[in-house]
Amino acid sequence: MQVDANGNNEWTDFREFDVSHGEASSIVLPDDFDAVWIRFQVDRDCVATAFLHQTSSYPNSEQGHAPKEPLFAGIADATDDEVIGGLVYPAKRNRNLRIVSADGRGYQLTKSSFEFETDHADEKLQRLLEFEPEFRIDEASVVVESKGKRYRLPKGDSTFDEPFSFGWPRAVREVESERHLANIHGTFYELPLITNGAPPAWNLIRPVSSHRKQIADFCSWNGLLVLSGIKPDANRDGHVFKSGDLNMGLWCGGIDDLWKLGKPTGNGGPWKDTQVHAHVPSDPYLMRGYDEKTATLSHGSTTPVQITLQIDIDGNGRWVTHETFSVPAGEKISHPFPEGFSACWVRAVSDTDTTTTVQLEYR
């Protein structure tokens, strides 16, 4: 690994790695690392992968889901009994924002004055905006299926296991132009769109923020991010806008404000009391973009079982062994990942037919 510290094409050696076939070597760059460019050289002809995981810190969050600023105070909490929900749709005909409330009433938020106007009930629009959940939940984790592949994501608060009073929150939507966001079980994700007209690339998903909010729907409108799911007593504060009859309200801000909603956290894994077959890998479970990570492994056999954790370096199925654990019968092994360690996905492989649990906590 070589670095060009000042961007003037003067390269110096930084670190040498000895990498065996089928394995990987990793390094956490020091806090004071400072360079414009890096590059890699090899000592023999080969096919190689060098991939960097670059993650920002989360200065706007004290602990987990607790944002320091009251930016999102007007959005209903996951445990609130009452919420003003609705489906939102940027209208092409007049550039206003159309809203269908949870009980089918129509509103428009005007582009010119940000005032709510009543709108006629539109069954066609309501059918257009209806959706089915794009994920399911089992004992182990959140499950998403796309293009014949199954991916597993962390769980958030248990309140997201069931629909809210307005139904299931919308999971996936395009915001701005050709940019998808997903709101799944209490976490917002960036979901890359690689090819127009094709499904988004779930294998390259990464978390933005975790929350405990009843966000019914979301969209982009006139350069703003709009969130539906407001507390009935929320104050108009420059982000919360409410109708004159107080029966409709929305939150408006910037898409980048989502990074202030809360540090990505979650729990789950590829297996939980799952009957597994020897040498058959589990589904991939998301690791990219999370901070403090700990895995817990156990099984139901009467003799030790070898459980291997494998990582996908770049999201394209380049699996390598992270570590193999000999798990004694009747015991649990806890494995804290090194500080700063990252990979796109993690999966587990057992050397024995058995009932196995591999769960990860992201704090």
What is residue 161's three-state secondary structure?
helix
Domain total of the chain: 3
pLDDT at 55: 75
- What residues make up the domain containing 36? 1-50
Q: What is the pLDDT of residue 66?
A: 52
Q: Which long-range contacts (CB under 8 A, 24 or more apart) does 105-114 make?
A: 105/247, 105/248, 107/243, 107/248, 109/241, 109/250, 111/222, 114/241, 114/252
34 and 173 fall within a common domain:
no
Domain boundary among 260, 281, 313: 260
Domain with residue 327: its CATH number is: 2.60.120.260
Task: Assess if residue 147 is contained within a domain.
Answer: yes
- Whether 59 is covered by a domain: the verdict is no
Q: What single DSSP character describes residue 22?
A: T
| 65 within a domain of the structure (yes/no) | no
Q: What is the pLDDT of residue 23?
A: 84
- 141 lies in the same domain as 216: yes
63 within domain boundaries: no
Same domain, 220 and 109: yes
Decide if 30 is inside a domain.
yes
Residues 193 and 225 both lie in one domain = yes
pLDDT confidence of residue 61: 44
The answer to whether residues 288 and 322 belong to one domain is yes
Please give the DSSP secondary-structure letter assigned to residue 36. Answer: S
Note whether 202 and 245 are same-domain residues: yes
Would 167 be classed as within a structural domain? yes
CA separation for the pair 254, 23 (Å, rounded): 42
Residues 123 and 224 occupy one common structural domain:
yes
pLDDT of residue 54: 85
DSSP 298-336: EE--SS-EEEEEEEESSSSS-EEEEEEEEE-TT--EEEE
Claim to verify: residue 253 and residue 181 sit in the same structural domain:
yes
Distance of alpha carbon 63 from alpha carbon 264, whole angstroms:
10
337/249 Cα distance (integer angstroms): 43
End-to-end CA distance of the chain: 31
Query: Phi and psi for 320 in degrees, rounded to 5?
Result: -135, 160
Question: 255 and 274: one domain?
Answer: no
pLDDT of residue 69: 58
- Does a structural domain hold residue 64? no
Q: Could you tell me the CA-to-CA distances from 157 to 65, 77, 83, 184, 214 in Å, in that order?
A: 10, 11, 18, 11, 11
Query: What is the pLDDT tens value at each position of the chain, 363 positions in all?
Result: 999 999 999 999 999 999 998 888 888 999 899 999 999 999 999 999 999 998 766 654 444 445 545 899 999 999 999 999 999 999 988 999 999 999 899 999 999 999 999 998 888 999 999 999 999 999 999 999 999 999 999 999 999 999 999 999 999 999 987 789 999 999 999 999 888 778 899 999 999 999 999 999 999 999 999 999 999 999 999 999 999 988 999 999 999 999 999 999 999 999 999 999 999 999 999 999 999 999 999 999 999 999 999 999 999 999 999 999 999 999 999 999 998 899 999 999 999 999 999 999 999
| Together in a domain, 20 and 155 | no
Boundary residue ending a domain (203, 235, 260)? 260
- Burial of residue 127 (CB within 10 Å: 0-12, 13-18, 19+) is exposed
> Is residue 160 included in any domain, yes or no?
yes
288 and 234 fall within a common domain: no
Q: 46 and 87 share a domain?
A: no
CA-nearest of 115, 114, 112 to 94 is 112
Which pLDDT score, from 0 to 100, does residue 268 have? 98
